[in-house]
């Protein structure tokens, strides 16, 4: 008889730990570098309120083996094994398998699609099946000849003795694990109070609530689904366990192993789309408040006087220049400084943080947090050169000459126009300059010509867009005393790209939402000032190439939405960087920096000495993804430095 994995549906909690264990076991017990390489041989399937894991049945007379023309699939060690080098990608096995247990996958962009199936971890040094070992409820087990004999015997005895099947014991491990109190999360300041100022709206968790939330975590596995969906692969179950044990300093140290700014990600990550969206408890009392706990750990440890330690590093001879003190640049600087590299960070702004400081408003992230981080990074030996714009105050060629490598973490600052007639009218403003001007005022910085502060007190403000930037503009307008604040979005509420939490917060603060409306023109008064926006209603049509349903205009549904101020919050595109020309750095057709390719680091540009990451490479995205890119660039630079040392 062939061996195979069986799943006990009654005890499956749907935590995906088996999928994660399968993937990491086939990646030398590490996380795959790219999302597309997450290819488990076992799949958790959900049906109504139940879940179960399915994988290859290792059939005795396996049709896949019989169908394979090259013997790439063969019987060995009481299972169906696969030899990749013999696979010609004919897909016969995929068609032959009655359980859909074989997939065709490519191991790289230019690689051919080959069969991919469970090998019962035959090559893993532990000799154990990773999925079985990782299951927190022992719902999975390897069925072999002896297991089957045991099962047969148990059933024969039970039948002979006339014992009934104990239904109440079925799923007991699942029930015990999922019996959790509901989520509490961080407390918010009441909307009426918070909309009067720019202070952060969420309180830090109290130690009592942190204990309560950490108690709720199921500790699905050391490498759990929540770790995988966190772009940094933070050690979430482990740091939560340390909170439960009251070991805050140890938890802070662990958080800093995988993240350069944990208290910031804990505040600004869209957790509902990332770590918390993947939590096993999401639909069972609510996800563990991972973000709040992450913030709690670092805020508390810093308050206790703890500081991230660089440790006893031997200084290296290399020097690296980093352009941009946003999350990408800071992630890169952090890793390099810890490895003993001398790091100089240049930024045109008077404070570090990039959009963390000058984009994200202080009611989401207090500016004091970033100032504290500057102190910490400076103590680690990172040198910041603020108010220094490359291409204006410092020549890029000087950096190339004076440093062993340069990292570009310059973000995306190209503004998107609405394409409406009258868009240049007084009263029509772009989101980012609007937010920057506001933040500069909150920080007590001088008003700058580039970012003039506009007075919106008592005015009717309309914001076009449905993402996080739009939410920030709306909530800023509320705090600036606008008479009314309206969000006009061309799709329906479900299609909004921003974090759901921010939409709830905006609503609570008095923002009005108009969905399925598209701007057509800008109406001006006699002074040329905007007075209304001509709108047309839309309905949701067929999905476009990006999979999102497209809005369709409804004929004859036009109307005018009165407005004194219109904020355009459509997102960002790459900005011009004339100073980069002539240095062999390839840009794509949208002006984003191109990195990677055959024989190059994934963050290395077409100039060997120049690396890049964050929004400037992957387009406007998230703080956490920018930081991942910066940290990876640092790792790739270090590999290069070590290779040069050895050659």
Ligand X SMILES: Cc1cc2nc3c(=O)[nH]c(=O)nc-3n(C[C@H](O)[C@H](O)[C@H](O)COP(=O)(O)OP(=O)(O)OC[C@H]3O[C@@H](n4cnc5c(N)ncnc54)[C@H](O)[C@@H]3O)c2cc1C
Q: Rounded CA gap, 583 and 611, in Å?
A: 12
392: left (phi over 0), alpha (psi -120 to 50) or beta: alpha
Q: Rounded CA gap, 482 and 438, in Å?
A: 14
Q: Which does 219 bind (CB under 5 to 8 A by kind): ligand SF4, ligand X, none?
A: ligand SF4
Q: What are phi and psi for residue 556, nearest 5 degrees? A: 80, 10
DSSP code of 264?
H
Window contacting ligand X (CB under 6 A); options: 55-63, 350-358, 480-488, 537-545: 350-358
Site for ligand X in 178-217 (CB under 6 A): none
Q: Is 73 in the site for ligand X (CB under 6 A)?
A: no
Q: Is 120 in the site for ligand SF4 (CB under 6 A)?
A: no
Smallest separation (angstroms) from ligand SF4 to the CB of 186 = 12
Site for ligand X in 240-269 (CB under 6 A): 268-269
Residue 47: partners with Cβ closer than 8 Å, 6 or more residues away: none
Smallest separation (angstroms) from ligand X to the CB of 478 = 15
Looking at the DSSP bridge assignments, the partners of residue 349 are none
Q: Is 389 in the site for ligand X (CB under 6 A)?
A: yes
Q: Is 260 in the site for ligand SF4 (CB under 6 A)?
A: no
Smallest separation (angstroms) from ligand X to the CB of 183 = 21
- Cβ atoms of 47 and 53 closer than 8 Å: no
Q: Is 232 in the site for ligand SF4 (CB under 6 A)?
A: yes
Window contacting ligand SF4 (CB under 6 A); options: 23-31, 186-194, 289-297, 548-556: 289-297
Smallest separation (angstroms) from ligand X to the CB of 75 = 50
Structure tokens at 463: 């914001």
Q: Which does 218 bind (CB under 5 to 8 A by kind): ligand X, ligand SF4, none?
A: ligand SF4
CA R_g for the chain: 28
What residue spans of 362-418 are helical by DSSP H? 367-379, 396-402
Looking at the DSSP bridge assignments, the partners of residue 50 are 47
Looking at the DSSP bridge assignments, the partners of residue 536 are 518
Q: Which does 468 bind (CB under 5 to 8 A by kind): ligand X, ligand SF4, none?
A: ligand X
Residue 261: partners with Cβ closer than 8 Å, 6 or more residues away: 327, 330, 331, 356, 373, 623, 627
Q: Rounded CA gap, 261 and 528, in Å?
A: 46
Q: Is 330 in the site for ligand SF4 (CB under 6 A)?
A: no
Structure tokens at 233: 């692969």
DSSP code of 593?
B
Consecutive H or E run containing 321: strand 319-323
Smallest separation (angstroms) from ligand X to the CB of 327 = 5
- Three-state secondary-structure class, residue 118: coil
Measured at the CA of 605, the angle between CA 600 and CA 608, to 5 degrees, comes to 65
Q: Which does 411 bind (CB under 5 to 8 A by kind): ligand SF4, ligand X, none?
A: ligand X
Of 171, 266, 329, 359, the one binding ligand SF4 by CB under 6 A: 266
Of 115, 210, 217, 251, the one binding ligand SF4 by CB under 6 A: 217
Q: Rounded CA gap, 585 and 405, in Å?
A: 13
- Cβ atoms of 370 and 357 closer than 8 Å: yes
Comparing CB distances to ligand X, the nearer of 456 and 626 is 626
Q: Is 231 in the site for ligand X (CB under 6 A)?
A: no
Of 40, 171, 286, 291, the one binding ligand SF4 by CB under 6 A: 291
- Cβ atoms of 359 and 437 closer than 8 Å: no
Q: Is 224 in the site for ligand SF4 (CB under 6 A)?
A: yes
Residue 104: partners with Cβ closer than 8 Å, 6 or more residues away: 89, 91, 94, 113, 114, 115, 116
Q: Which does 359 bind (CB under 5 to 8 A by kind): ligand X, ligand SF4, none?
A: ligand X
Smallest separation (angstroms) from ligand SF4 to the CB of 281 = 5
Binding pattern to ligand X, positions 456-475, x when CB under 6 A? ------------xx--x---
Q: Is 406 in the site for ligand X (CB under 6 A)?
A: no
Q: Rounded CA gap, 273 and 277, in Å?
A: 5
Site for ligand X in 357-376 (CB under 6 A): 359-360, 364
Looking at the DSSP bridge assignments, the partners of residue 530 are 524
Q: Is 279 in the site for ligand SF4 (CB under 6 A)?
A: yes
Comparing CB distances to ligand X, the nearer of 294 and 468 is 468
Quick one: which of 361, 363, 462, 467 has its CA closest to 416? Answer: 467
Smallest separation (angstroms) from ligand SF4 to the CB of 234 = 4
Comparing CB distances to ligand X, the nearer of 213 and 502 is 502
Window contacting ligand X (CB under 6 A); options: 44-52, 291-299, 354-362, 450-458: 354-362
Q: Which does 225 bind (CB under 5 to 8 A by kind): ligand SF4, ligand X, none?
A: ligand SF4
SS (HEC) of 27-80: CCCCCCCCHHHCCCCCEEEEECCEEEEECCCCCCCCHHHHHCCCCCEEEECCEE
Q: Which does 354 bind (CB under 5 to 8 A by kind): ligand X, ligand SF4, none?
A: ligand X
Query: CB-side exposure of 145: number of CA atoms within 13 Å?
Result: 6
Window contacting ligand SF4 (CB under 6 A); options: 62-70, 283-291, 310-318, 421-429: 283-291
Q: How many CB atoms lie within 10 A of CB 265?
A: 28
Q: Which does 271 bind (CB under 5 to 8 A by kind): ligand X, ligand SF4, none?
A: ligand SF4
Smallest separation (angstroms) from ligand SF4 to the CB of 295 = 8
Footprint on this chain of ligand X (rule: CB under 6 A): 268-269, 323-329, 346-349, 354-356, 359-360, 364, 389-391, 409-411, 432, 435, 468-469, 472, 614-616, 620-624, 626
Footprint on this chain of ligand SF4 (rule: CB under 6 A): 15, 217-220, 224-226, 230, 232, 234, 236-237, 259, 265-266, 269, 271, 274-275, 279-281, 288, 290-291, 294, 624
């Amino acid at each position: 008889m062939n061996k195979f994995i069986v799943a006990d549906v009654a005890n499956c909690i749907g935590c995906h730990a088996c999928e994660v264990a399968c993937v990491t076991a086939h990646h030398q017990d590490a996380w795959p570098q790219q999302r597309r390489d997450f290819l488990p041989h076992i799949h958790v399937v959900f049906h109504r309120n139940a879940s179960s894991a399915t994988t290859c049945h290792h059939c005795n007379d396996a049709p896949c083996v019989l169908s394979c023309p090259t013997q790439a699939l063969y019987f060995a060690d009481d299972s169906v094994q696969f030899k990749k080098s013999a696979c010609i990608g004919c897909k016969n096995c995929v068609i032959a398998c009655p359980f859909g247990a074989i997939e065709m996958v490519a191991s790289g962009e230019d690689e051919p699609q080959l069969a991919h199936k469970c090998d019962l971890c035959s090559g893993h040094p532990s000799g154990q099946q990773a999925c079985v070992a990782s299951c927190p409820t022992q719902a999975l087990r390897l069925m072999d000849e002896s297991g089957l004999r045991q099962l047969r015997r148990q059933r024969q005895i039970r039948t002979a003795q006339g014992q009934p099947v104990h239904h109440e014991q079925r799923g007991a491990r699942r029930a015990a694990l999922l019996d959790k109190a509901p989520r509490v999360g961080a407390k918010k300041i009441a909307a009426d109070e918070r909309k009067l100022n720019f202070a952060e709206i969420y309180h830090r968790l109290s130690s009592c609530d942190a204990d309560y939330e950490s108690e709720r975590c199921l500790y699905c596995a050391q490498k759990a689904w929540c770790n995988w969906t966190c772009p940094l692969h933070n050690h979430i179950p482990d740091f939560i366990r340390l909170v439960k044990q009251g070991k805050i300093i140890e938890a802070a140290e662990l958080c800093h192993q995988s993240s350069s700014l944990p208290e910031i990600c804990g505040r600004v990550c869209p957790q509902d789309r990332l770590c918390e969206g993947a939590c096993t408890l999401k639909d069972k009392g609510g996800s563990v408040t991972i973000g709040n706990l992450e913030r709690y750990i670092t805020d508390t440890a810093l308050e206790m006087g703890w500081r991230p330690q660089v440790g006893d590093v031997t200084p290296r001879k290399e020097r690296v220049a980093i352009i941009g003190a946003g999350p990408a640049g800071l992630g890169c600087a952090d890793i390099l400084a810890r490895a003993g590299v001398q790091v100089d960070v240049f930024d045109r702004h008077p404070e570090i943080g990039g959009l963390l400081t000058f984009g994200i408003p202080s009611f989401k992230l207090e500016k004091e947090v970033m100032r504290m981080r500057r102190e910490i990074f400076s103590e680690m030996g990172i040198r910041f050169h603020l108010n220094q714009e490359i291409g204006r105050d410092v020549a890029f060629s000087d950096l190339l000459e004076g440093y062993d490598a340069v990292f570009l973490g310059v973000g995306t600052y190209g503004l998107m126009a609405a394409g409406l007639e009258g868009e240049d009218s007084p009263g029509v403003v772009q989101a980012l300059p609007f937010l920057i001007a506001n933040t500069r005022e909150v920080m007590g910085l001088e008003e700058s010509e580039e970012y003039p502060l506009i007075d919106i007190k008592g005015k009717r403000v309309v914001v076009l867009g449905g993402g996080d930037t739009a939410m920030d503009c709306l909530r800023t307008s509320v705090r600036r005393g606008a008479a009314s604040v309206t969000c006009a979005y061309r799709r329906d509420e479900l299609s909004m790209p921003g974090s759901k939490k921010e939409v709830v917060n905006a609503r609570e603060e008095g923002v009005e939402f108009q969905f399925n409306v598209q701007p057509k023109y800008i109406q001006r008064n006699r002074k040329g000032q905007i007075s209304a926006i001509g709108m047309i209603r839309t309905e949701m049509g067929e999905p476009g190439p990006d999979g999102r349903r497209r809005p369709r205009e409804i004929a004859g549904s036009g109307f005018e939405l009165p407005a004194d101020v219109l904020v355009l919050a459509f997102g960002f595109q790459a900005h011009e960087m004339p100073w980069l020309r002539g240095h062999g750095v390839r840009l794509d057709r949208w002006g984003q920096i191109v990195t990677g390719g055959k024989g190059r680091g994934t963050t290395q540009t077409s100039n060997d000495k120049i690396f890049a990451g964050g929004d400037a490479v992957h387009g406007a995205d998230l703080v956490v993804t920018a930081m991942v890119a910066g940290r990876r660039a640092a790792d790739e630079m270090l590999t290069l430095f070590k290779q040069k040392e050895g050659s």
